[in-house]
Amino acid sequence: MRRIRCILVAIAVSCLSAGASAQCRADFDANGAVNGADLGLLLSAWGTCGSPCPRDLDANGVVGGSDLGILLGAWGECPPAVVPAWATLIEPNPDPAVVTSASLRAAIRATGLAWRVRDSSSQVEMLLVPPGTFQRGCSASLTQPCFSDELPVRAITVSAPFYVGRRELTQSQWRAVMGDNPSQFRGPDYPEDLHPVETLSWDRVAEFNARTGLRMLTEAEWEYAFRAGTSTAYHGYSGAPNGTNAEGFVTMIAWHEGNSGAQTRPVGQKLANGFGLHDMAGNVAEFVSDWFGSDYFGSCPAVDPPGPASGTHRVVRGGHMLDAPIWLRSSVRFGAMPAVTYTLVGVRVARDP
């Protein structure tokens, strides 16, 4: 079912934005136009290149004359970004102050889809994550090696773009749909529109999604979104765009046992990753859609892995505000029985274009 969904999404995106993708993949600086600045970037990469190689427009391993021809054929303004029918537009193109990597901005623009939107059914602000390939699995920190269920490290491709909540789902967003607030940390000191919803079961999150048309991320999508182009234990931020393996820097991106004061914190206060997503590590842990399989990384498909077909536990990612930084690493995995309510576990919702 997951593979079928991805194929349908890819076809739909192709139909909506084929023109935008063909033209704007040459918009290397993601400023909305193919012009002299992009020509300069292409010429600066002239010759044989490795992977990834965003200037290699025809994907033949060389930046050369054919790529120059593609760029010149796309010269001019890019078509406007497509806004999904279920959303309202906030911002069409990625903000360079948020998505600081030019290659990530170009990948977002190449989809032809709007970057920043608001889901009409839930009022969740969502950012577009473009398709791509990453190395999934073991990312050790300076003091913590990996566990066996984080191995082996493999190249995994996420084949279709998807939208993901910029922040963790809040208590007010949950209440507006479900009519209650199950959170342990609630009340006058925890404004519902600022604090993440938690004390949830996977089954209740599935019910929320059924009512709104939203979904959970797959485990592969979650790790791809967390890493945002990095391969380190902890994702990058404005001061360290390539990420870090040092636990001491986790305070910049996460609420954990050393800085949370043993309570959840308002969403979005910590520095975002390369896609502009906040609190991917810490604050509350996040349910994803997959069944937990301790040896799944070695046997899963290399493209859009859906998770095991069955199991007893669902995957939880990201760690929470009572965890030590070593548990907030990009590849750490936990399991939770779907019908059981867990404190300090929330969710980050997703939606297909």
d(CA 189, CA 299): 46
Residue 23's pLDDT is 58
Q: Is the pLDDT of residue 11 over 70?
A: no
Q: Mean of the pLDDT values across residues 217-228?
A: 98
35-75 pLDDT per residue, tens: 999 999 999 999 998 877 889 998 899 999 999 999 999 89
3-state secondary structure of 251: helix
Q: Is the pLDDT of residue 134 over 90?
A: yes
**CA distances (Å), origin 48, targets 41, 54, 63:** 15, 12, 6
Q: Mean of the pLDDT values across residues 243-260?
A: 97
Mean pLDDT computed over every residue of the chain:
92
Residue 4's pLDDT is 38
User: Residue 20's pLDDT band (boundaries 50, 70, 90)?
Assistant: very low
User: Residue 19's pLDDT band (boundaries 50, 70, 90)?
Assistant: very low
d(CA 254, CA 278): 9
Q: Is the pLDDT of residue 192 over 60?
A: yes
Q: Is 32 left (phi over 0), alpha (psi -120 to 50) or beta?
A: left
Q: 132-351 — its CATH code?
A: 3.90.1580.10
End-to-end CA distance of the chain: 17
Residue type, position 187, single letter = G
User: Residue 31's pLDDT band (boundaries 50, 70, 90)?
Assistant: confident
3-state secondary structure of 125: strand
User: Residue 332's pLDDT band (boundaries 50, 70, 90)?
Assistant: very high
* Helical spans, DSSP H, in 74-170: 102-110
d(CA 17, CA 97): 25
The Cα angle at residue 106 between residues 85 and 114, in degrees rounded to 5: 15
91-123 pLDDT per residue, tens: 999 999 999 998 899 899 889 999 999 999 999
Q: Mean of the pLDDT values across residues 117-133?
A: 97
| pTM score of the predicted model | 0.85
Cβ–Cβ under 8 Å, residues 33 and 47: no
256-292 pLDDT per residue, tens: 999 999 999 999 999 999 999 999 999 999 999 999 9
Residue 180: CB atoms within 10 Å: 11
Residue 24's pLDDT is 76
Length of the chain: 353
Q: Which of 146, 119, 107 is nearest to 224 (CA)?
A: 107
Neighbouring-strand partners of residue 286: 317, 346
d(CA 334, CA 337): 10
225-243 pLDDT per residue, tens: 999 999 999 999 988 999 9
Residue 32's pLDDT is 79
Residue 201's pLDDT is 98
If residue 9 lies in a helix (H) or strand (E), which one and from where to where?
helix 2-24
17-21, 76-80, 88-92, 165-169: least confident range: 17-21
Q: Is the pLDDT of residue 331 over 60?
A: yes
Return the domain boundaries, the chain. Answer: 132-351
- Neighbour-count burial for 122-143, b at 16+ CB within 10 Å, e otherwise: bebbbbbbbbbebebbbbbbee
Residue 54: CB atoms within 10 Å: 19
135-178 pLDDT per residue, tens: 999 999 999 999 999 999 999 999 999 999 999 999 999 999 99
